[in-house]
């Protein structure tokens, strides 16, 4: 399998190079040259497999031959062995045909562990083979950072720097990052928003000299390997609920569009996915896009679902690439216009294609709290604010009641205990693995929203930069 850039001007790469590159050199995102197809019989053959077994089958066409099959299977097995539920991604039934897939059984209690636990191991494996060291720089609105740190801590070939918007992540999220004291982990609290952090990271990738000095890499959701690993739970849910003979729909609380794009990929591969419902909070650029065809940024407002407090969804470019019939030059021109003016419009035809595959919905904070309370009262389940937005969005676009609707539970309720307590009157408790989180010491540096200052900090601390200096 080879990968091409959404801007059309970077060389096509194999899986191992795409893994290490993150963003393409032309500023685009890598996507597979073609989607591997699973026939009805291929899908039937997935029934009854464990999560890890199914994961190997679903991802194999994307990886091979960059990682030997047997090595890959061992990495996958190891990645999910530490999860705190034997099913890895269990489903609970909320109503006659409404399901919740719990994606919070990894070490940091958010769905991002499902990809990053594997991606960290893949990095190690590929870097060991190349005898290289890299520097990972990432921006987080909360959950990516801790999941990335947990995936990379203490790894010999990796130093990791995570930028988060100071004061705009929950205390649990912050402590999950800053309480990791491993010498290869650097937390930076930036005086700015998540989009500022993301812009800083993009600017570092745009600086070729810096990029080469530190051997820069990314684990945020622009990295193709994360999307790939997320396709697995869509396939797992589909197979469990009767695919290929029965279709299903998903409702996905969405920020950077990485999670729901994996659902789009699963559908492109042949899994019978009817609707993909995008749930947003008040930062609703995606909801407005699907309603009007206009992509228009507004200021980010803080909400009770901070992992979705995003106005520019990086992975949306992967969908746009298809809406532009994979014309990277045309897409690049639109993105440049968007960067300059904060707006662009797709054609009616393109909007029609987008709507054929996606529905969207948005909730403000009051509606989110009401939804957490409703779910608690009616089903006895406690869900976090992101998950509640997914469930409500799925209900808003329920469609054919005979088609199962699976909402993705993207975080454990205890990660957002204040909002959950406000809604239900009960404070959810952290699982045992994190019970002493509030007693752990923290390490973090505050830096201004200034590219040169942050690059300098990275250059001073990254082992790779010190080695080549
Ligand atoms: C990251 C995150 C999201 C958004 O996922 P994207 O892939 O960025 O769309 C939603 N919910 C939670 C809890 C998250 O951590």
HEC string of 246-279?
A: CCEEEEEECCCCHHHHHHHHHHHCCCCEEEEEEE
The answer on pLDDT for 303 being more than 90 is yes
Paired sense of beta strands 185-190 and 248-253, if any: unpaired
Place of tokens 């390490």: 443
Paired sense of beta strands 158-165 and 185-190, if any: parallel
The answer on pLDDT for 309 being more than 90 is no
Please indicate whether residue 308, judged by its CB atom, sits closer than 6 Å to ligand 1: yes
Q: Which two tokens stand for residue 275?
A: 């609707």
pLDDT at 80: 98
Angstrom CA distances, 110 to 175, 250, 297, 389, 426, stand at 14, 18, 27, 15, 20
Please indicate whether residue 410, judged by its CB atom, sits closer than 6 Å to ligand 1: yes
Q: Which atom of ligand 1 is nearest to the CA of 147?
A: 15
The answer on pLDDT for 64 being more than 80 is yes
Give whichever of 38-52, 198-212, 310-324 has the largest mean pLDDT: 38-52
Q: Which two tokens stand for residue 455?
A: 């690059």
Please indicate whether residue 257, judged by its CB atom, sits closer than 6 Å to ligand 1: yes
Between the CA of 144 and the centroid of ligand 1 the distance, in Å, is 8
**Is 15:66 a contact under the CB 8 Å cutoff?**
yes
Identify the CATH class of 91-107+225-424.
Answer: alpha beta
Please tell me the chain's helix, strand, coil percentages from 3-state DSSP, rounded to the nearest 5: 50, 15, 35
Between the CA of 468 and the centroid of ligand 1 the distance, in Å, is 36
pTM of the model: 0.93
Average pLDDT over residues 195-202: 91
The closest alpha carbon to 71, from 116, 121, 115, belongs to 121
The answer on pLDDT for 400 being more than 90 is yes
Q: Tell me: the pLDDT tens digits for 362-372?
A: 999 999 999 99
Substitution candidate for ligand 1 out of 307, 314, 316, 390 with most atoms within 8 A of CB: 307
pLDDT more than 90, % of the chain: 86
pLDDT at 140: 87
pLDDT band at 156 (very low <50, low <70, confident <90, very high): confident
The answer on pLDDT for 219 being more than 80 is no
DSSP for residue 437: G
Task: Look over the chain and give the mean of its residue pLDDT values, rounded to a whole number.
Answer: 94
pLDDT at 300: 87
- DSSP letters along 85-153, please? STTSS-EEEEETTEEEEE---STTSBTHHHHHHHHHHHHHHHHHHHT--EEEEEE-SSHHHHHHHHHHT
Q: CA-CA distance, 83 to 407, in Å (whole number)?
A: 20
**Is 372:385 a contact under the CB 8 Å cutoff?**
yes
Known catalytic residue at 112: yes
pLDDT band at 166 (very low <50, low <70, confident <90, very high): very high
Task: Tell me which of 246 and 221 has the higher pLDDT.
Answer: 246
Average pLDDT over residues 50-79: 97
Q: CA-CA distance, 149 to 186, in Å (whole number)?
A: 9
Q: Tell me: the pLDDT tens digits for 254-302?
A: 999 999 999 999 999 999 999 999 999 999 999 999 999 999 999 989 8
Please indicate whether residue 394, judged by its CB atom, sits closer than 6 Å to ligand 1: no
pLDDT band at 312 (very low <50, low <70, confident <90, very high): confident
Please indicate whether residue 143, judged by its CB atom, sits closer than 6 Å to ligand 1: yes
Average pLDDT over residues 98-117: 96
Place of tokens 């850039």: 5
């Amino acid at each position: 399998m080879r990968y091409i850039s959404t801007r059309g001007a970077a060389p096509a790469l194999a899986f191992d190079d795409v893994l290490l590159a993150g963003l393409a050199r032309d500023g685009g995102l890598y996507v597979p040259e073609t989607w591997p197809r699973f026939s009805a019989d291929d899908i039937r053959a997935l029934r009854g497999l464990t999560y890890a077994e199914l994961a190997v089958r679903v991802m194999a066409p994307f990886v091979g031959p960059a990682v030997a099959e047997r090595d890959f299977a061992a990495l996958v097995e190891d990645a999910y062995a530490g999860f705190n539920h034997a099913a890895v991604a269990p489903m609970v039934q909320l109503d006659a045909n409404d399901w919740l897939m719990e994606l919070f059984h990894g070490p940091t209690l958010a769905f991002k562990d499902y990809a990053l636990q594997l991606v960290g191991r893949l990095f190690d494996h590929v870097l060991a083979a190349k005898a290289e060291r890299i520097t990972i720089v990432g921006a987080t609105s909360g959950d990516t950072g801790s999941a990335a740190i947990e995936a990379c801590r203490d790894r010999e070939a990796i130093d990791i720097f995570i930028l988060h918007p100071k004061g705009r992540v929950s205390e649990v999220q912050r402590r999950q990052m800053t309480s990791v004291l491993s010498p290869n982990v650097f937390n930076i609290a930036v005086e700015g928003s998540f989009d500022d952090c993301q812009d800083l990271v993009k600017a570092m990738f745009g600086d070729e000299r810096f990029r080469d000095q530190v051997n820069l890499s990314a684990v945020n959701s622009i990295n193709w390997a994360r999307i790939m690993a997320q396709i697995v739970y869509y396939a797992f849910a589909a197979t469990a609920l009767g695919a290929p003979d029965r279709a299903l729909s998903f409702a996905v609380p969405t920020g950077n569009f990485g999670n729901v794009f994996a659902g789009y990929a699963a559908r492109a591969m042949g899994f019978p996915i009817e609707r993909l419902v995008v749930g947003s909070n008040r930062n609703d650029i995606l909801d407005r896009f699907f309603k009007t065809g206009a992509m228009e940024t507004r200021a980010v407002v803080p909400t009770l679902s901070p992992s979705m407090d995003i106005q520019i969804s990086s992975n949306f470019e992967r969908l746009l690439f298809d809406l532009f019939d994979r014309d990277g030059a045309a897409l690049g021109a639109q993105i440049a216009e968007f960067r300059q003016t904060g707006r662009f419009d797709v054609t009616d035809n393109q909007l029609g294609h987008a709507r054929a595959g996606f529905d969207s919905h948005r909730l403000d904070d009051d509606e989110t709290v009401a939804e957490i309370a409703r779910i608690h009262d009616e089903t006895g389940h406690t869900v976090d604010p992101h998950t509640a937005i997914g469930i409500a969005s799925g209900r808003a676009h329920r469609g054919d009641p005979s088609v199962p609707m699976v909402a993705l539970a993207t975080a454990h309720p205890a990660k957002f205990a204040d909002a959950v307590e406000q809604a239900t009157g009960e404070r959810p408790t952290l699982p045992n693995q994190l019970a002493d989180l509030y007693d752990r010491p923290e390490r973090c540096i505050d830096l201004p929203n200034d590219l040169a200052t942050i690059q300098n900090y990275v250059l001073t601390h990254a082992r790779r930069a010190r080695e080549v200096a």
